[in-house]
Structure 1
């Protein structure tokens, strides 16, 4: 019992220290370094925190949606030049789901094979993308990559918390710099998003709202 209490106290202390370190971040560079420092012990070699763009965002504006990241520069250039945002399985997942996506699962399912294969050529073979949401409609994807990514329950929980903390701070930094895209949701879009956050599937949302499943997908 005493050891469990000490472990809980250490966890609370670590959580408090992490939150304080992120509160001190004032720029994208600060945030990038804070995420790197916390995630490296869990086998993360590259990360990216970014707002999920919708289909109307011009290709030249897509790089501005990155809040922080250490993706290889050559991969980033290719990714945006070839407009992979439209076909990236991680982006699509972050746009419509709330549970984390492990890239190996997407690869096994045959989704986004070309993008995943090309990413692996730049050292981005194994990783996960964790969706985040804000109540005003922004959807954020936080990705962690590493050949020796720690997949233990403890590390996975830590990465979930880190993703939420990094996404929150990234939005604050972007807002301070007037860099957050303006998003206006209709009432129906907001309803769909709130039910999605509650963990409902597209089909369940369609039943709750009395609309077709295709309509739900369109509102997402």
Structure 2
């Protein structure tokens, strides 16, 4: 099964989940399929003191979780801080090149390794107007990640976090209250998913460049995202487009 087919299969699975237990089960299964042992899908908050209910699903060792919460690492975790400076997935081994690590950061990473957590891969989930979040996959210390699986991990992480947002109803508007997507907006998003620029889309559809910009702006507002690259993720999750649509030319 190819990358897109596997991503689409996972998307179908998580779209059908109705509880956090089911979502955690789906994440556990896909993590194993991708060659990982651990997963963590979470908002970047002090979970014990969060003013509002926050997302957190994981299968990390209990001792590590206790240390993590006792030291209120939800906000200061170097993995979380690194995810705030990028919109794509990254290996934890790359963190020193992404942010300046403090002595405390090195201590935290070393403690995680001592608890059996080695290198990992994190997919940021930074939605404007909401608390930052991420989906991470990790292996026991000493086990290498399967590099060929990281592109699918990127897609899986994005879909999983969107499923969690749906379950926790983090959005300020209920999906039933959202304005309907127009066919032209859908066409623009589809061409974004195919890698086309706004100008190229205007030429393909035979409309003004400003018209495409307006359609994509309205679509971003509908989904509550600030970047055009996230439009495809949300449209795929919602079912407005499919991987089959994206692959057609």
Match of 2:164 in 1: 170
What is the alpha-carbon distance in structure 2 between the residues aligned to residue 162 and residue 72 of structure 1? 22
The one of 132, 135, 139 aligned to 2:132: 139
The one of 161, 168, 172 aligned to 2:155: 161
Match of 1:19 in 2: 11
Structure 2 segments unaligned to the other structure (5+ residues): 173-220, 231-249
Indicate conservation of the 8 Å contact 1:130/1:143, yes or no: yes
Match of 2:85 in 1: 96
Distance 1:174 1:118, change over 3 A: same
TM-score of the pair, normalised by structure 2: 0.59
Structure 1 vs Structure 2 CA RMSD: 3.1
Q: How far off is 1:149 after superposition?
A: 4.6
Q: How far off is 1:131 after superposition?
A: 0.4
What is the alpha-carbon distance in structure 2 between the residues aligned to residue 39 and residue 58 of structure 1? 23
Q: How far off is 1:62 after superposition?
A: 8.3
TM-score of the pair, normalised by structure 1: 0.66
Q: 1:65-214 residue pairs with structure 2 within 5 A?
A: 65-106=54-95, 111=101, 112-147=105-140, 148-152=143-147, 154-175=148-169, 180=170, 194=226
Match of 2:30 in 1: 38
Distance 1:125 1:12, change over 3 A: closer
The DSSP-based 3-state class of the residue aligned with 1:142 is strand
The DSSP-based 3-state class of the residue aligned with 1:146 is strand
Rg larger in structure: 2
Distance 1:100 1:11, change over 3 A: closer
Structure 1 segments unaligned to the other structure (5+ residues): 1-6, 183-189, 199-220
Q: Once the two structures are superposed, what CA deviation does each residue of 1:43-63 show, in whole Å capped at 9, x if it has no partner?
A: 21111011223xxx6853389
Aligned residues: 173
